């Protein structure tokens, strides 16, 4: 894919590719193997702080579906940043194959797909048809750093 075109599209969307996130535990941000790039789960962070921490479906407040979708969008943007850092450019990127979105929620919460759309829509907005992907949206009891959402991306390289 055209590196300059992707960066220009990110700017057109009023976004900025964030500094690639640093691992917070014993893993690498991206593993490239057999024509695929596996981007480690991304927790939405801004200036070193978790964006919209907490549980969805919490009757005492918690995180709204809209806030979590915003966090999923940011996490997907971070995944693109990590991917570009690992590859040196977006040129080897053929498309996004799979996205897994983990949502910290109560057992009663059922809007996981709406939250996951934040990540999915960002990838399609930036990459066009190459951003279309298979997806899982899964509820979790908790996520690292108290995050409401974590996004993992598998990209196809060409």
Provide the residue range defining the domain that includes 90.
3-157
Share the mean pLDDT of the chain.
96
CATH code: domain of residue 55: 3.30.1330.40
Q: How far apart are the first and last CA of the chain?
A: 9
Euclidean distance between CA atoms 9 and 24, whole angstroms: 29
Quick check: 140 pLDDT over 90?
yes
Quick check: 21 pLDDT over 90?
no
- Looking at the chain, list the stretches that DSSP marks H as alpha helix, in order from N- to C-terminal side: 3-12, 65-87, 112-127
Q: What's 89's DSSP letter?
A: S
Using one digit for the tens of pLDDT, what is the confidence trace for 43-99? 999 998 999 999 999 888 789 999 999 999 999 999 999 999 999 999 999 999 999
Beta-bridge mates of residue 101: 137, 151
Euclidean distance between CA atoms 39 and 96, whole angstroms: 11
Number of domains observed in the structure of the chain: 1
pTM: 0.96
- Torsion, Cα 35 117 50 3, to 10 degrees, reads 40
Would you state the pLDDT for residue 117? 98
């Amino acid at each position: 894919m055209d590196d300059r075109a992707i960066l220009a599209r990110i700017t057109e969307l009023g976004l900025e590719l964030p500094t690639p996130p640093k691992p917070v535990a014993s893993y690498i941000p991206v593993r490239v193997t057999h024509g695929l790039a596996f981007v480690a789960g991304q927790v939405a962070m801004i200036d070193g702080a978790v964006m919209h921490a907490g549980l969805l479906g919490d009757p005492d407040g918690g995180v709204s579906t809209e806030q979590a979708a915003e966090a999923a969008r940011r996490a997907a943007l971070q995944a693109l940043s990590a991917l570009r850092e690992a590859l040196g450019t977006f040129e080897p990127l053929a498309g996004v194959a799979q996205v897994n979105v983990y949502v910290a929620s109560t057992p009663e919460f059922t809007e996981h797909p709406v939250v996951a759309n934040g990540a999915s829509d960002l990838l399609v907005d930036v990459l066009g048809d190459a951003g279309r992907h298979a997806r899982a949206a899964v509820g979790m009891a908790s996520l690292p750093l108290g995050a409401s959402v974590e996004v993992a991306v598998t990209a196809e390289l060409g």
